[in-house]
Amino acid sequence: MRERARNARERERERNARERERERETSKAVKLRSHTLSLTNSFSLSLSLSLSLSLDSHGCTGTGDSQFCRRASALWGEDGEGGIMAKRVLQCAVRPGMTLAEIDTPALLVDMTALERNLGTMRKVMAGFPHMRLRPHAKTHKTPYLVDLQLQNGAAAVCCQKLDEAQAILAGSSVKDVMVTNEIVGKPKIARLMRLAKEAASKDKTLSVLVDDMSNLREVAEQCRLAAVRLGIWIEVNVGQNRCGIDHDSPVLLELARFIDEHPDLTFRGLQCYQGALQHVRAHADRQRLVDEVAAKARAARQTLLDARLPCPDVSGCGTGTFMLEGTCGVHTEVQAGSFMFMDADYGRNLAETYLECACDASRPQGGGHVSQFEHALFVLTTVMSHTNPDRLVVDAGMKAVSLDSGPPTVVDETATQAAGRGVAFDESRVRYQNGGDEHGVLMLGDSGALPDAQVGTLLRLIPGHCDPTVNMFDFMVFVRDGIVERVEAIEGRGPGL
């Protein structure tokens, strides 16, 4: 008996020692996480960039707090000044008051005037759909500053695609309700989810996630019980994306819903019914038909719950290219549009259609792509680095600066842009972007017209083919107004799906 007691005391001492070591390492992480780097030029203009490093970022797994500290120290330095990333920031520092000519390239630009118009347009459009609230998707920008702008312009909540994004948004913005539009699977991620949910609750904020599997739901629920934390749960329904989600008529729907409804640590938030692939269906008739199919499946899933006397508080979904069509179907109660803030070249390819406006702007002709209400606000600033052939220009924005998954970027026609008062691209029959490798983009002469009149060193603007993954490639976002830098924001939620 005495031997067992001695062994128990020894194990307790070892546990305490490990806990003290963990606390010491965590304290280092907190110091790095809260450090603010001030960049000052000779005119005493300073830019304070909050370097929000996370205990769970930069490749750490499990309880590897010391691993995080070593990685963070290498990136930023113990004092935030001597690391790789800190030196990079200092070398490429962009400050308010700079002109575009003073910015090193490639750089990610946001036109503040266009951004503000897009936010105002969305607010006006949403007024025509009083049964729906705006929960914009922060995966587009991953930046707390922009979440607050969205909240000031009618957004009621936001959603994110991964925990890193949710962590940055919860910590850096005033939003109270964050939804992660993804299933959180695996012990490391679920452990992080618990910590994040606790942190959110401590600030009177709510966090919710998706499920489509009973075993995952049970694991999440058990960890909620052990952590004494309450978590919001949405059931994802496959309404045509054929990615995650249960079929709308699957018996698992009721099984999941009953479990959530009866569990003391879970709150049933509703159904996730999103079909992202429809956003760029070019023909309006085809998009309308497919949206009707989405709505029918969402309606059937909701009715299944109601018939079983189970709640269905909300049906969330709807993207920039479809939300007005889905809004007229009367099923969805939340709009998760994200790209409307920035737009991109792929959405621009929908603009050959006529307009589809809501009742709040009946002056426009009815017809196809309502995305034409929104204008291009996101650009990649690039420099012409070679022009040895009259049929091509080479710029310094390659695969590391522009996403090619939804087609190539387009080139801004500055003359047409100035005349129209909004971003206008060259027709791709005149100039087309061709992948030149990691650090090179090649602008080729199209079937008609001529290349932009640009010598080596000329600055050009590209409209990204796909805004979300292009933003993910950059560390910082440069906000400009009338060609002058107004502010710079760190893209705090960037990186892979951690």
Degrees (nearest 5) of the Cα angle 345, 358, 481? 45
Same domain, 412 and 333: no
Give the whole-angstrom CA distance, residue 255 versus residue 214. 8
pLDDT single digits (tens) 474-489:
999 999 999 999 999 9
Apex 409 CA angle, 404 and 411, nearest 5: 160
β-bridge pairing 158-160 and 177-183: parallel
DSSP code of 407?
Answer: B
Alpha helix ranges (H) inside 330-392: 345-348
Number of domains, the chain: 2
Q: How far apart are the first and last CA of the chain?
A: 47
| Residues 6+ away with beta carbon under 8 Å from 31 | none
> 280 and 361: one domain?
no
Residues 285 and 309 in one domain: yes
Do both 449 and 401 map to the same domain? yes
- The 10 Å Cβ neighbour count of residue 369 is 23
**Opening angle at CA 404, ends 395 and 349, nearest 5:** 100
Instruction: Write out residues in the chain with pLDDT < 70, as ranges.
Output: 1-9, 11-12, 15-92, 351-371, 449
Which of 321, 343, 365 is where one domain is finished? 343
- Residue carrying structure tokens 């061709």: 434
Count CB atoms within 10 A of the CB of residue 400.
Answer: 13
Regarding whether 371 and 297 lie in a shared domain, the answer is no
144-152 and 112-126 helices cross at what angle (nearest 10)? 50
- Domain hosting residue 100, numbered range: 92-111+355-497
Looking at the fold, whether 105 and 134 belong to one and the same domain comes out as no
- State how beta strands 459-463 and 410-411 pair: antiparallel
Among 343, 372, 404, where does a domain finish? 343
Instruction: Read off the tokens for 471.
Output: 């933003």
3-state secondary structure of 60: coil
Q: What single string gives the DSSP state of each residue in 420-481?
A: HTS--BPPTTTEEEEE--SS-EEEEE-SSS------TT-EEEEE-SSHHHHHTT-SEEEEEE
Please give the structure tokens belonging to residue 363.
């002056």
DSSP run (H or E) holding 126: helix 112-126
The domain boundary residue, chosen from 343, 378, 409: 343
Length of the chain as a residue count:
498
CA distance 410 to 197: 41
- The CATH number of the domain holding residue 313 is 3.20.20.10
Cα–Cα distances (Å) from 370 to 9, 70, 257, 331, in that order, read: 69, 49, 35, 20
DSSP assignment letter at 99:
B
Same domain, 334 and 360: no
Q: Are 332 and 395 contained in the same domain?
A: no
pLDDT at residue 104 in the model = 96
pLDDT per position as a tens digit, 209-244: 999 999 999 999 999 999 999 999 999 999 999 999
Around Cβ 81, how many Cβ atoms within 10 Å?
Answer: 14
Residue 154 falls inside a structural domain: yes
Distance separating alpha carbons of residues 247 and 238, to the nearest angstrom: 5
**Distance of alpha carbon 381 from alpha carbon 469, whole angstroms:** 16
